[in-house]
A = this chain, B = another copy of it.
Amino acid sequence: MAGVSIGSLYQYFPSKEALVAAVIDRHTQEISEVTRKALVKAAALPIEAAAREFVSVAIDGHRVNPKLHGVLAEQIPHVGRLQNIEALEQEGYALVRAYLEAHRDEIDVADLDLAAFVLVTVVEALTHAAVLRRPDILSDEKADRFVDDVTRLLVRYLGAS
């Protein structure tokens, strides 16, 4: 009926959960590809440029497949925080943490762990909400303003204003 029959599906995936996991894996990997290079590149940039790159890449990541991303963001907690997502998250977290350490003397925050948490959470939440709930904010004529705003938010938070 819808391209493949139930039976065929279960020849390739042992369970529905496995199927969903595979979909998530693919999506995660697509995001990884878009993301990783940019983040590594950002690691070598000064704070303002790195922040901007971080924001841009987060937007791009969320734009890979917004509809699927939205559905997954709803469903994943039920599946139980899939390992690959967790891993991607941890990787991003570690990169940010490492960046902060490398720029310790230019940064004015007391607790780098807390700062990493704040940065990752803020950028993820803002880009996620913008892409999925306020697409107007990312329209061609407004997107730059959004990136500018969030970049400034990050830079000033780090005390590098």
Which A residues are within 8 Å of any B CB, using their own CB? 74, 77-78, 109-111, 114-115, 117-118, 121-122, 124-126, 129-130, 134, 137, 142, 145-146, 149-150, 152-153, 156-157, 161
Contact = CB atoms under 8 A, between A and B. Distances in A.
A161 B109 CA distance: 15
Given A114-B137, A121-B125, A157 B152 contact: yes
Interface majority SS (helix, strand, loop, mixed), chain A = helix
Contacts of A125: 121-122, 124-126, 129
A66 to B, nearest CB: 14
A121 B74 CA distance: 17
Contact of A118 (B77, B109, B153): B153
Q: In the assembly, how many copies of this chain are there?
A: 2
Contacts of A74: 74, 77-78
A19 B136 CA distance: 35
B149 A114 contact: yes
Given A125-B122, A125-B125, A156-B157, A117 B137 contact: yes
A145 B118 CA distance: 12
A150 B110 contact: no
A52 to B, nearest CB: 15
A57 to B, nearest CB: 18
B149 A115 contact: yes
A156 B122 CA distance: 15
